[in-house]
Each structure stands twice: as C-alpha cells, then as structure tokens.
Structure 1
C-alpha cells in the first residue's frame, strides 16, 4: 500500500513537471509571437498616421468595429473581462474556455494596432492562463494543480514579454494567487525557465535600451515625492477606468459605443499622437533625450497633457470594447510623470538629478501603485531596461507608491467589486 501511494505521488509530480514545461513553452511562444506581431502592426499603422493625419480618424473606428464583429460572430458573443476572468477561474470552479486564447490574442493585437490606448499585457495574461487551464484538464493526475498551471502560464507569458523571470513569478504570486506552495514554485519556476530560454535562444533585446551609469543619494527625497505622486495618479487611473467603463456599459447599443469611443480616440490622438497604442514608441524617444531635455512651458504642458489624458483615453478604449488593461498605461504614465518631476525640481530647485533615472523609477512606481504589486513592478522594470543599477530607489519608491495608493483607495481595477464601492 505504501509503495502504491509513493508511486502515485512520484507520478503526480512527474506529470506536473512535464505539464509545467509544456505550458512554459507554449505560453512563452505565444507571448513572444503576440509581442512581435503587435509591434510590427502598430509601428506600420502609426507610421501611416504620421504621413497623413486622416488615418487617425478611421483607424480607431476600424479597430473597434472589427473587434465587435469578431466577438459577435466568432467568439460566442461574450466580452473579454480581462484579468477578472483569471480570478474567476482560480477562485471558483469556473474554467477558462479554450477560445479565450485566440480571442485575447486577436483582439489585443487589433486594439493596440489600430490605436487603442492600452497594451497587450492583459491579453497575454489571460491567453496564457487559458493554456495552463487547458493543461490541468487533460490529465487526471493534474486536476488538483489547476491554479499552479494557470500561474505557470501567466508567469511564462510575463517573462517573455518583459525579459524578467522573477517578475513573471512575482506577478503570479502577488496579483493572481497570493499563495505560496512547493507545487507553485515548481510549476512557475520550470515554466519561466523555459520561457526565458526561448528569449535567450532568439536573442531578444530588452524592451527599452538605456545606459544607466549611477544614481545620487541626494535624489532619494525626490524619488519619494515621485512615489507619492505616482500613488495619487494610480488612484486617478483606477477611478477613470471604473467610471468611464460604467458610463459606456449604460449605453445599450453597441454601435453607439463604437462611434463615441472611436471619435473620442481620434480627437485625442490628433492632439496627442504619443498616446497611440501602447505608447512605448513615445517612451523610447524620450528615454533617449531625457537628460538633454530643457524645461519650457510647452514641454511642461505637453507632459501634463499626456499624464492627464492617458487614463481617460485608456478608459474610453476599454469602455468602447477594446481589449487591454492598466499594465501598459501605468508604465507609460509613470515614465512621463517621472520626467516631468525631474524637470521641475531641476529647474526650480536646482536639484541636479538625472531625468532618465526618474523616468525608469516612475514606470515602476506607477505600475506598483496601479496593480498593488511592488516586487513585480521592481523586477519587471529592471528586466525591461536590463539593468539593476536603480534597484534600491526602485524598491523604496515601489512601496511608497503602493502604500500611498492603498491608503486612498483600497482596491484597484483588478480587485474592484460593486459591493466594495457601495461600502465606502
């Protein structure tokens, strides 16, 4: 009897290991594919808008319309709920349907490619979670490891997107499951190893190429101020998403949602083309010029406009039917918030701080505050710049931003529930 029990345990662990490796490979491959296809698609269409602004009047309408018809005729007429779908699966008996893989892949690609002001991160998370969910159903031995395999898929997807295995594991822990176990460590550890190996084999470069040489201790007070401001901005982002999505949900006719959403996107993009798609193109441009940029009133107004309008246009994208979440918008807002803070204190307080560093720290601060996951934000940003020079200020500011955000608003867009709002 003991031998049978021992053999059963060994077989179960072997099955979990094999499944985790396969999930890691499939999730990593899907994530890398979606990233490259979206980058190419978005860059090509955005280049068209630079040549002829009229494209900005039609691209959002095309994107939102195509997503609607795909959802209506191909994806069972069901809207994608983003990461809440993953929560429903891990916290109850619900399963993520297999069609969620192509649904989020295609809709995320179209949303960002045609100018929807969000990112593919949430599409990646849900589609890779669905891969893990399918794996647990295929073998009787794996039925009790549903959450572990879902987390394995998510961790591999985040790893492939941001070149950071630790960010992948920590996101699965801090945001999705909040439970640590031996099976979780094994499943996520093996899956991110496979996903990261794919990145190395393909010589994938970091998302942002920067040269960080040092940071100054005298900048710490200003970093902390940046963390507090990021925390406040994250609440603004959360409230924008919840309020504007609620306004759109009150509109019954989908055609009205699409027309209002597309027109709003077009108008804002005509004024601020930096907000097109995930906005990573604008971040890259400003990372290159951050340390030489001079403070002027037009520059300040431009940065302020970007920071104020990004949450609104993101919320409109999601409310009108686009796929995405607050992941990429948080990184985007944080970068420009950091740049604005650095320019202000250098100009008026003669602080002599490094604006590039503040852009990078701002990304992590805003992400940490928006998703309430400081360690994920820390290692993710270190991964996207492939540099750990700013590790200590990143660590401090990520926690400052999260604490500030939670003191004002205990929930985020992932954890919000109607009863929570009514109780406040």
Structure 2
C-alpha cells in the first residue's frame, strides 16, 4: 500500500511539473507573440496615419486651387480601389469591422491579404476625398496581424480572439496615443469579455505600442489646453448627450439605407459613377466634408470660443450635420474603405459647437464652446459604437487633456443609453436592408 501511495504521489508530482512547464511555455510564447503583434500593429497604424495625412492634405490643398480636382479625385480613388480589389485582392469586398466579428465568432481566420488591402484602400479612400477615416481600416488590418500570428503555432489557436484583440489594441493605442482607449475598444466592441490571457496579451501589446509612439514622439491630434468647466453647465451636457444619441441613430440609419440602395445597382462601375458625382457635388459646396474632416475640426477649435452665431453659421452647421452621414454612407456603399469613427468625431464636434454657440448667442448661457466640441466628439462616438469608456479615454487622449473627464463621462453615458433606448443597433450590429 505504501508503495502505491509513493507511486501516486510521484505521478502527481510529475503531472504537476508537466502542467507547470506547459503553462510557463504557453505564457512565454504568448508574451513574445504579443510583443511582436503589438509592435507590427503600432508600426502599421502610425504609418497609415501619417501617409494618409500627408496625401490628404496635399490633395485637398490642390483641390482648393483647382476645383476640377474635386470632380476627378473621388472618381479616381473609388475606381482604383475597385481595380485593386478585382485584380489584386481576390475580388473580395472589404466588410469593415464586421470581418473581425465574423472571425472571432467562428473558426474562420482573417486572411493575410486583409493587411495590405485595408491599408491601401483606407489610404486611397481618405486621400482622394472619401468622407470617412482610416480608423476602421487600421482596426481590421491590425486584427489580421493577430489572426495571422495565431495560425503559426498550435498552442495559440484557442486564443485567436485574444491575439486578434492584441493587434487591435496596439493599433488604436498608436493611432490615438492612448493605451486605455485601445484596451477598452478591444474589450467593449470586439471581445466583450476579459480572461487572464486577454489581459496578458493585450496589456503587453498596448505597452509595446505606447513605448513605440513615445520613442518616435507621436503627438495627439488635437492637443490643446482646456482650463476649466462649470458645474452649472451639467444640464447642457446631458442635452448634448441626447442630441448626439439622436444624431448617431441618423448616422446608422443613413449607412444602412445607402448600402441597401447601392446593393440594388447592377454593375459596380455604375455605383462608382453615381457615388463620385454625389460626393464631388457635396465637396464642391462644402469642402469641410473632404476626407476625415479633421482639417475643418482643427480650424473650428481655434475659433470656437469667439464664435457669434449668425444665419450663415446656422445654415453651414445644419448642412454639415445633415450631409456628413450621407456622404460617409455613399463613400462606404460605393466600395470606399473606412467606418464611422472619424465621421462620429466630426459630427459630434460640430453638434457641440452649434449647440454651445446657440446657447451663448440666444440665451447668454456663458458656456465654453470648445468644451462642448470635445464633449460632443466623445458623446457621438459613444452613441455610434456603444462604447462609452472607449470614447471617454480616446477623446481625452486626442486633446491630451483630462480636465473634462467628468462632463465627458456624463455625455458618453447619456448618448449611448439614449441612442440605445430608441434604436438598439449600431452599424456593426445591423445588416443593410434591401428593399
């Protein structure tokens, strides 16, 4: 009996040692692959961001000197994307972030060509005036890096979602200079659950991405100095959140409506011709809608606090808020690459500016318009993707200031839940209708 007891104890010790070795090897390999994914995703994100900024600025400047370019650019950009898709990217349309959801929900992997496909198509879409941003292009291409990594080692295959999220976390961290925004986006939007492996892989990916952007001295997009906010404005922050919630529903419905309508057009070149004609007309009248629109937001942030609302301003803001969802929807429906990140920030900024200027001009409310622009950005993004904490930390990082943390939190929560109560879908969760 004693012999059997000794044997059982020895066997148990051997099994424990094997289990500990397996666990150590697993986490050692996960550590290495997370750091590699994080670096590659951050490098890709920063590269796409700066290349797009350079060409978007150059082409937009030329279009302001020669209006004919506004007719040529959207047609050329959409046509080039179509040609590349037909002859280089396996005739597969980019579905945006839904591709990531499909991959994490099934055994289907994101193919490696999705890395150059979304990189190139996102660059072409925004540079040539397509009214969206490169954020979702970055998300899908960095997710594909994580998906590709998990295929390379058997031990990684049951952690596909975690490694895909690691790529996304690093990409968002690099784009917006915020590890918390990256981690929260991967959790709130993609994974919706966090286990030990998720925390290890994503924290490491965020850390290496953040270290990379610190080394290259990457700067926030809208760095500014916000000095104060007033408690008396809290009811206005709540109203702003509700306004952003309502506008997010309009954006979602627009995207789904136009995708449904364009899906009924036979012949992809007819789609491109129709879309390019509409996009060019809108850009000719409202150049603020060109590309991601960050140039218009930066200009408005500089003059926000001195703005006195006049009838031309009312007409301009109303047109921008009505037309931005339309031009974004048409860009995406005709084959452009992108999503609702940049459009949400744009719409939210101008809702905030319009609302604050209206209060100050007609009610002498004494609110600070630039604060409302920042809160509006976060509230609109929160309502559009149903991710309030992602929006909170992302926008604080965008402006490199956490002074407005509390009012932004109010705005993001009110926006999300007011939108969800009326229309419980986002562009990520709703399929386009075909009437």
Give the CA RMSD over aligned residues: 1.1
Q: CA deviation at 1:2?
A: 1.9
Q: Which residue of 1 aligns with 2:221?
A: 207
Asked if the contact 2:140/2:168 (under 8 Å) is kept, the reply is yes
Q: Which residue of 2 aligns with 1:261?
A: 275
Mapped to 1, the partners of 2:419 and 2:159 lie a distance apart of: 33
Asked if the contact 1:210/1:287 (under 8 Å) is kept, the reply is no
Equivalent positions of 1:220-231 (< 5 A) are 220-231=234-245
Equivalent positions of 1:18-97 (< 5 A) are 18-97=32-111
Number of corresponding residues: 421
Tell me the secondary structure at the aligned position of residue 18 of structure 1: helix
After TM superposition, the score normalised by the length of structure 2 is 0.96
Counterpart check, 1:305 vs 2:319: yes
Counterpart check, 1:107 vs 2:140: no
Max Rg structure:
2
Choose the corresponding residue for 1:152, options 166, 173, 176.
166
Q: Which residue of 2 aligns with 1:234?
A: 248
Counterpart check, 1:319 vs 2:333: yes
Q: Which residue of 1 aligns with 2:4?
A: none
Q: CA deviation at 1:417?
A: 3.8
Q: Which runs of 4+ in 1 moved over 2 A?
A: none
Equivalent positions of 1:157-306 (< 5 A) are 157-306=171-320
Q: Which residue of 1 aligns with 2:360?
A: 346
Q: CA deviation at 1:418?
A: 6.5
Cα deviation, 1:24-67, whole Å, max 9, x if unaligned, reads 00000000000000000100000001111111010000000000
Asked if the contact 2:52/2:126 (under 8 Å) is kept, the reply is yes
Mapped to 1, the partners of 2:96 and 2:230 lie a distance apart of: 39
Tell me the secondary structure at the aligned position of residue 278 of structure 1: coil
Asked if the contact 1:60/1:265 (under 8 Å) is kept, the reply is yes
Counterpart check, 1:406 vs 2:420: yes
Mapped to 2, the partners of 1:137 and 1:76 lie a distance apart of: 20
Asked if the contact 2:169/2:186 (under 8 Å) is kept, the reply is yes
Asked if the contact 1:210/1:288 (under 8 Å) is kept, the reply is no
Asked if the contact 2:256/2:432 (under 8 Å) is kept, the reply is no
5+ residue gaps, structure 1: none
Mapped to 2, the partners of 1:305 and 1:346 lie a distance apart of: 21
